[in-house]
Structure 1
Amino acid sequence: MKPQARLVSVTRVESLSPHLRRIVFSSEQLAGFPHGKEGAHVKVLVPHPGEQFPELAFDAPKPAFKRSYTIRSFDAGSLELTIDFVVNRHEGPATNWASTAKVGDFAAIAGPGAPKLSNYNEDNYLLIGDLTSINAVNGFARYIPRQANLKSIISVPTRADMIAMDAGDHLKIEWHIEDESSQTFEQQVERVAKVMPSDNTQVFFGLEARSVRTIKGILLNDLGYQRMNLFATGYWKKGVDADKFNRQKQQNPL
């Protein structure tokens, strides 16, 4: 059976915030991993409980648990791939693995997939995210021209979850702190979006599925944004596990 993923091991672990845990993977099998894919997603395959290694083939009789995560960075020199995992918000196979992962543990990486945003030649950008897509915002901002009008809104559970971004000084973030804010995230997005040019602003938003639908409606119906300039994806859905949500997205795309 031909392997479909790259076996990697954990080389560093860092707790960034109450709800984000950074894991650095390394392996000789990462040689040839594409450069410049920050913000794109990979599939992370983790072993079943009690097992040391994940199954690398997707069509194996007992495949590994696999979930999509966004690339924070990749160092081709050291062959290190960095991914931030959301923890202490919900349970699931990959989340539970990431919560206790330690140096020397094994996982596997498949991908990367195509980035959701790939047009970096426009004048105006609005990047909207939460903990699950915070590194998509950071990754895309790296490639947006410094002279562009770039705004971002990111929702985090607490002030302690406002992690450092390294995309450059042109990335101006307005944080929505869930346990402090007097307005909803959607209201905050609408307020910021109102001052952006609705006819030529490129908008990325990767969020909870219901929030994606609400914000898409605000941008299209209330503010007159152009559908062709919206790049939206539901990263998760409240109360629905990842496998079921992926099936729902295939049947009813956001």
Structure 2
Amino acid sequence: MYTSLTHAPTGVGLTISRITDPHLESRMGKMGLFVGGDITRLDEDVALQTVRVKGPKGEVVLGGGMGVKVVTHLDDGRMIPLTEMKPGETGHVECVTAGGPVQDGMEALGLKNNDPIELIRILPPMEFIAIIQGRGRIRLAEGMAAKILGRMGDIQCQFANAQAGMDFEVERILGGHRAQRAIASLDIAPGVILRLESVGKAPSYQMTRQSRCVVSSPEGLRLYLRHDQSDLVIVSYEEADEFTS
């Protein structure tokens, strides 16, 4: 039986038959997942947590959507997504499983292949209330605040690390095209001045689990794919009646 990974059953052996997007095929290949290889789709919900990590450029914040795209090679030899690291664990970046603007954004934060990395802590869902100069007040989830890179005086940092009451000039929006469009819809762009008013616990409507397809390789590495990505992976498997015939 052939199907997309999105609609494949969980807990059974799957064989990758085709990956219809060459960029996705290349990124999966960096993690040892090739056409003809075996994987298993896991039956679990995924809460993508925001994390604070220490890299070559100091401490940075990564929303869960970006964090799952970083595969880390821990000092004990394990390879896991960055979001599965525990506070205090160290290693290096094995690969960034995204291309284009996402990879460029990671490099701007000092997270590229072979860079050392340490997980500092897992952050709770937070909400940033800020003023856009001349335009009014906005609310940002911590994942969006982490994608806004700019300056407070001589200090370059993410808006997620901004100090309340200080002018923050936006220099760059990190992340993929969808994230950039979402931030642009709030009239946030390079050159805009933001001022953080307060940070607080996010209301419950912002704590929904993001929909992801989770697969595991025979080596134990777990990969998180958005459903628009898992739609591009065609797999084959034996149906139950084939086992008993």
Relative contact order, higher structure (CA 8 A, sep 6+): 2
Q: Which has the larger radius of gyration?
A: 2
Larger fraction in strand: 2
- TM-score normalised by structure 1 residue count: 0.27
